[in-house]
Structure 1
Amino acid sequence: MKIFVISLARSVDRRAQMLDKLTKADIAFTFFDAVDASVEGFPLSERAAPEITKKRKGYTLLNSEIGCYASHFLLWQKCVEMNEPIVILEDHAELTDDFKSMLTLAFQHVNEFSYIKLSAPIKPRKFFEDKKLTQSHAIGHFTKNTCFTTGYIISPEAARRFIEASMRIVEPVDDFMEKPWLHHVKAYSISPFICYRANIKSTIGNERKVKRKIGLFQKIYIELFRFYEIFLRFLTK
């Protein structure tokens, strides 16, 4: 089981914190250098489609969000090249005490559930069990988006499908990964979660949520597109 931690090479403090956490948990891992969006012409930046994002969402993605997407994309490529499932963590992940044991159990089922999220949803969601792991944990799915890419297991097949559906980058990677109508990959989760986002300052921030200079017709289009995706989500349950 190979574990990769996405982290900017210059994020010395975050790397030190993750090294400490994973060492204490007796987990072998490798740092994967995240795409640095502060560098002009960073990998995959040419795939951004700000005009589509603005039309559908009312905002454009930050370079850091595109860089985050690119970082995951490059690890999907690595997963396909290795032709074996991998575990991907971000460097702000906090681990539960049973992280290692439950990760080991969940990893055994990656051929059945090709994309398994390890982190918790932002808000409480109704959870449906698909496979019991222990008396307390199960793999299942939520009825609504759970956001975040703090930690997950991915198979080569799921990685390949994500790659093929990423010709354009129009939304944050965590939103994209939970839209099976785009890539035919269903998101599963382990519950209760075994990792979560640490309470540290985000390198992305919330600026993209600010919608400026949006006219009435664009607001209507944004709402119509939102309902369209709700309908697609219903069809792909």
Structure 2
Amino acid sequence: MRNLGYSMRAGEVGCFLAHRNVWEAASRMRGCVLVLEDDSHVDPARSPDIRAAAQLLSGKNMAARLISQPRPAFRTWHEIGPDATLARPVRHGNLTVGYLISQDGAKALLRHSSSFWCPVDDYMNLEYLHGCLMLHFEPEIAEHRDGGVSLIGRREKPPVSPRTRIVREFLRASRNARGLIHSWLVLARLGLCFQRVRQPSGTRLA
């Protein structure tokens, strides 16, 4: 409430708790876990790319989205196939429809989410908080086949007082500043500061 000015929807809370259960299970498994929501569809032909990505992420505090909306520009981190890369997005995308997560990444996300105030995809983007680096598959290798209907429901944003609005915007600016600094530090750590920025392809799945 303090950060957003309104409460999370019941569907958002339920979705977050479901992913926490997955992280708890993944934190006890070696290697990586592929997380897929019910309305996701993964191209079976991309299984070798997923296995290659799992080898790269294993032992690191990382996760990689199979699909994101919007699809941001990116810098290539590693080639994982003839036409596939693991990429570091210029700006964070959204969606938790499908992602690959390492054991260390699951532990980090679990450790810092005993209490939460935002939807799970927004939380996963708060890297400066939990330390799990978010990568993207490029081109994306999953589709969100939800028929354009959200299972969580519509967002109702009640009017807020000027004081609440000021506090909310201050906290948002603080998060954005911390996120920007963290992003540049990550680029330096990954050796991507001078990497060419590329635009996402428009590949459709079979």
3-state SS in 2 of match to 1:91: coil
C-alpha RMSD of matched pairs (Å): 1.7
Counterpart of 1:195, as a letter, is A
Find 1:215's aligned residue among 161, 173, 183: 161
Tell me which of the two structures has the higher relative contact order, counting C-alpha pairs closer than 8 angstroms and 6 or more residues apart.
2
Question: Contact 2:31–2:54 at 8 Å: present in 1 too?
Answer: no
Q: CA deviation at 1:98?
A: 3.1
Does structure 1 residue 116 correspond to structure 2 residue 64?
yes
- Indicate if the aligned counterparts of 1:113 and 1:188 stay in contact, CA closer than 8 A: no
Q: Deviations over 1:129-149 (max 9, x none)?
A: 111123421111112221111
Does residue 98 in structure 1 map to residue 48 in structure 2?
Answer: no
Number of residue equivalences: 181
Deviations 1:70-110 (A, max 9, x none): 11111111112233421110011122363323222222212
Structure 1 residue runs of 5 or longer lacking an equivalent are: 1-53
Instruction: Name the SS for the 1:187 alignment partner.
Output: strand
Output the CA distance in 1 between the equivalents of 2:46 and 2:82: 16
Residue matched to 1:78: 25
Residue identity matched to 1:202: S
Is this contact kept in 2: 1:102–1:194, CA < 8 A? no
1:63 aligns with 2:10: yes
Distance 1:78 1:146 in 2: 25
Give the TM-score taking structure 1 as reference length. 0.71
Q: 1:236 aligns with which of 155, 179, 182?
A: 182
Q: 1:193 aligns with which of 135, 140, 157?
A: 140
Cα distance in 2 for residues equivalent to 1:206 and 1:144: 25
Q: What per-residue deviation string (whole Å, max 9, x for no partner) do you get for residues 9-40 of structure 1?
A: xxxxxxxxxxxxxxxxxxxxxxxxxxxxxxxx
Q: Normalization by structure 2: what TM-score?
A: 0.81
**In structure 1, how many angstroms separate the alpha carbons of the residues matched to 2:96 and 2:121?**
6
What is the percentage of aligned positions where both structures have the same residue?
21
Aligned partners of 2:128 and 2:12: how far apart in 1? Answer: 22
In 1, Cα distance between equivalents of 2:14 and 2:167: 27
- Return the match for 1:160 from 107, 112, 118: 107
- SS across alignment from 1:75: helix
**Which residue identity is paired with 2:63?**
Y
Q: Which consecutive unaligned segments of at least 5 residues does structure 2 have?
A: 184-206
